[in-house]
A and B are shown apart, each in its own frame.
Chain A
Amino acid sequence: MAEKLVPVVCPWCSVGCRFYAVSVNGYIRKIEFDYEHPTVNRGKLCPKGVASYQFINSPNRLKKPLKRVGEKGEGKFEEITWEEAYRIIAERIKEIKETYGPEAIAFLASEKITLEENYLVHKLSKAIGTNHLDFPGRYCQYSNSPARTAIFGSAAATNPFEDVAKAELIVIWGHNPAETAPVFFGQYIEKAVLDNGAEMVVIDPRGTRGHKYASLHLKPYPGTDLAIALAMLNVVISEELYDKEFVQERTTGFEELKEAVKDYTPEWAEKISGVPAEDIRKVARLIATKRTALFVNEGMNQHVNGFETALAIADLIAITGNIGKEGVWSGVFPGAQCGFCAAMTGIAPNKLPTGKLVTDEEARAELERLWGFKVPEWVGLDLTGMIREMGNKIRMMYIVGGNIAKSAPNSAWVREQLKKLDFLVVQDIFLTETAKYADIVLPAAAWFEKTGTAISAERRVQRTYMAANPPGEAKPDWLILVELAKELGLGEYFKYEHPDEILREINSVIPVFKGATPEYLAEHPEGCFFPCTEPGEGTKVLFKNGFKTADGKAHLQPVKWREPPEMPDDEYPLWLTNFRFVGQWHTGTMTFESPSLQKRWPEEYVMINPKDAERYGIKSGDLVKVETRRGSVLARAEVTEHVREGVIAMPNHWDINFLTLEVTHEKTKMAELKAVAARVKKVEE
């Protein structure tokens, strides 16, 4: 019964914490902290990290392939063999291809599977002949990511976390890292503020645990952050506080930007956002005069107007010169440990794994040469587009590790749409709400049950190793994809016997990972920063000598005010937004199966300001019905000053998406997940 210390990357958020899984005979007995290596977390872990093996050992894990025998959504299945499951899937794919063509089939990859596995989902979808490919990250960073790509040519984090401790100003905007990334908050933000004297500013409609360190707290109505960002640009430009040398030498489009924001005064923004004009001025002046680390996340991203907000914020970062040097930070901050694994293998309806576009003939020819089969040239549908077309253009879907019945906007609509598919395959570790709609469910190995590569929010590429055997007949996602490819007659393109072989192919196909070889990562548990074109520590600071645009300059984008798609009115007078618990994660698939977390963060509630509570006759603990035009949810009320008047807020791990809106941005396809019009009513018990 020898104990083995297996080095692993944490399976939850994107900080990229490392620790050991203590493995005994293929089971994980406990975890142990890694204080020996120069890791990002310096040994530390949050409650989810500490409890991270509990869900792995849950008795509710899927152990055998399942075939649906009940109604869609009912959850009645019978166990079948792997051979039968592969045979059925291959037959249906063949049938649907013959009847409707490969463009009737859609694939969903995941921010929860490894880099290698995302790459294989991408390769399999293209080998089958479809570009309908996306991942749930569509609802995550797909405001900030395209905005920063438009301006800087690359969306990724500009600096390593260690630079945050050197910043003079920390701006936390629609982000709550004290709750969503505690190790990052404790090891980098607290050190900047408490030990190194940095100032901190928070922009959030709610009060949160990290806010006690802030000197200013701006509380906009949800979805109105754009007005504040535009007003900040207006202040910095009209008061001539921008970095003139930087703007002159390293940017284009300044005059257009200046013209676009000239009427967006702080007084104008105050009327829209409810934030005092003077506070907007103060923060704008701080950003312009201090070395700034600026963190945005879902409070900024998950809006239809999030793209415009992200553009305005990126413009602000550029004209204040807070980029391309040490001691600053900005970039996307994925929600999951492998968000970059999907994004950087081109999991999107218009991309190739090389990061180039499917419409780029030369890039396609290059990939066809490497892969040996033809790659479709048309642009596919995004995730919401796929849901909208289910039963119409989309007849079959193959979902790896995503729970869209709960995470996509307007859950009731999504579930009705899922029923319209001719055939649905879900590959997961639990029977999720989405899996209940599947025709075939395939039991996957969980994170600690396989070897693979993860990429953190600071672009750190790290290897995680197999510490436990999967339960029953469950298999790693990469192996399921390889075996299915064989059944489909595509075996010659999927000759892999170990994730190392897949990573070596990635090293040769995706230039930014060329140096992240299995050997280098095994020797360096702290990983390397992509772009790592040679084995070595990679690129720690981006844009020091130029941006990733064609001319090397930051392309400032003029931005106009854009209203959220739904605003409070007489019928639905409140703004509804949502937030996260430190001890819950995404749709709860894994945290609900972690007893130490579930008992501490057991249920949802709705935060309501005392003035609104009085207006509606609601007291803390009352059962209330929260309603929008899409549906309603019952929850207990918590009357608190920590949410501003006119706004109610609920955690997003339970049923919030029965209330959100499936309207999407025309370019980024981001849905309205954070600001909708709602009403609240006490329910008699």
Chain B
Amino acid sequence: MSKKIFLDYKRCIGCKACEVACEMTHGEARIRVFEFPDLFTVPFNCRHCEKAPCLNVCPTGALFRDEDGAVAFDPLKCIGCLMCAVACPFGIPKLDEENKIMDKCDLCADRRAEGLLPACVSACPTEALKFGEINEVLWNREGKIVANLKSSAEKGEGEKAYIVL
């Protein structure tokens, strides 16, 4: 069982509620909305990889996997070497210049402990960010897409299904 944030980026309108909510919770935003000239926007945060390369290269064991499957870290063990950043295929880990340690998304460990959603997911007004057991999120998505394909086929407008994808 692994909980993750799924990025349904086609629902994103680039409002940055996720960034601001993250910043209010952690002091710095660990999620960012990337904007493109064609008005397309993509929110992006740590993917909490199942075979996380960062976990393998962390020399002090500061990075660990928590009970929900998040790649979390212990700030007291981190030495700020950023080997995790070298290994990360997405460039996620950043330097917290004040505390001289690495900083990245931990899926709001403190909020999850209180039974709350990660701050960015709580805020996201369009539900472009979805949090939960990742396969459950994906099965729901697949179900929706198939239902849409069926209804589009019935109406003879096959190309419309593309909108949800």
Contact = CB atoms under 8 A, between A and B. Distances in A.
B19 interface: yes
Interface in B1-49: 10-11, 13-17, 19-21, 23-25, 37, 39-41
B125 A187 contact: yes
Given A50-B24, A51-B20, A209 B122 contact: no
A421 B116 CA distance: 54
B101 interface: no
A642 B39 CA distance: 9
B106 interface: no
Contacts of A30: 24-25
A163 interface: no
Contact of A182 (B24, B125, B164): B125
B135 interface: no
B151 interface: yes
A522 interface: no
Contact of B125 (A186, A194, A210, A211): A186
A33 B20 contact: no
Contacts of A640: 37
A179 B15 contact: yes
A212 interface: yes
B13 A197 contact: no
A597 B39 contact: no
B125 A51 contact: no
Interface string A14-44: 0000000000000000111101000001011
A582 B123 CA distance: 14
B62 interface: no
A207 interface: yes
Nearest to A597: B20
Interface string A175-214: 0001100110111001001110100000000011111110
A167 B152 CA distance: 17
Interface residues of B, number: 32
A185 B10 CA distance: 14
Contacts of B24: 30-31, 50-51, 596
A209 B13 contact: yes
Nearest to A184: B125
Nearest to A640: B37
A185 B126 contact: yes
Given A50-B24, A186-B11, A194-B11, A209 B41 contact: yes
A45 B41 contact: no
B163 interface: yes
A583 B16 contact: yes
Contacts of B163: 193-194, 213
B125 A195 contact: no
A41 to B, nearest CB: 8
B15 A582 contact: yes
Contacts of B122: 33, 35, 43-45
Nearest to A47: B20
Contacts of A51: 20, 24
Contacts of A41: 125
A659 to B, nearest CB: 26
Nearest to B114: A32
A32 B14 CA distance: 22
Given A183-B125, A211-B39, A46 B11 contact: no
Contacts of A211: 39
A620 to B, nearest CB: 10
Contacts of A32: 116
Contacts of B116: 32-33
A49 interface: yes
The 7 A-B residue pairs with the shortest CB-CB distance in the complex, in nearest-first order: A186-B126, A186-B125, A47-B20, A183-B125, A182-B15, A178-B13, A33-B122
7 contacts: A32-B116, A33-B122, A47-B17, A185-B13, A186-B11, A186-B125, A600-B16
